[in-house]
Amino acid sequence: MLNGIRITLSYKFADKDNWIDVSIAPEKYFDIDLLDEGEQLEIDSVPLYLGIKCDLKNFLAVDVAENKIVYAKLLISDDNSEAEGKTTATFWDYGNNLIIQYTNTNSVGEITWNQTITQLRSITEPNIIETISMFNGEDINVIGSHSYMFEDSEETIKCDFYDKTKARLDFERRKNKD
């Protein structure tokens, strides 16, 4: 435990009832080089890897698809500030699709960050991954971003979620460009 930070990465196989919990040292989880001089780690400091699938693979050498993992949790607690960051993930279709929920709370349990990300691989075009990010408010969910990523290139088409016609045209333009 560094600066009161505790990190637990948990996962559950599709065919098992129990969770497997693994502690991760904060200095191995966070990118310590990005801290300013005198800056302390916090629950939302920059991690070395982006995403719970990467955490499973890089810290535990566990691949979601190969091991049929369907659920994962990452809990980051700060004993000093009593803040907590929680990430939960549900995977299906061998990890090709996922829903991730990020929730941070402060010392009195108030939610300070609440985001849901859905990522779906196209059935008809398997190299295309659609991602929708939503920020969860008290009464409504607000679209943060909507994009299509192409696995075989670095191109990403971002579109206004409410303009489905434009999104479809951009998608068709990219698909027919090849």
Question: What is the pLDDT tens value at each position of the chain, 178 positions in all?
Answer: 577 999 999 999 888 999 999 999 999 999 888 888 988 888 888 888 878 888 888 888 888 888 788 999 999 999 999 999 999 999 999 888 999 999 999 889 888 889 999 999 988 888 888 999 888 877 788 888 888 888 766 665 555 444 444 444 454 555 455 4
pLDDT for the residue numbered 158: 56
pLDDT for the residue numbered 72: 94
pLDDT for the residue numbered 21: 95
Task: Give the whole-angstrom CA distance, residue 47 versus residue 34.
Answer: 10
Task: Give the whole-angstrom CA distance, residue 156 versus residue 151.
Answer: 9
For every residue of 124-151, DSSP letters joined together read SSTTEEEEEEEEE-SS-EEEEEEEEEET
pLDDT for the residue numbered 5: 94
pLDDT for the residue numbered 163: 44
Q: Cα torsion for 52, 57, 58, 60, to the nearest 10°?
A: 100
pLDDT for the residue numbered 162: 42
The domain segmentation of the chain, as residue ranges, is 5-177
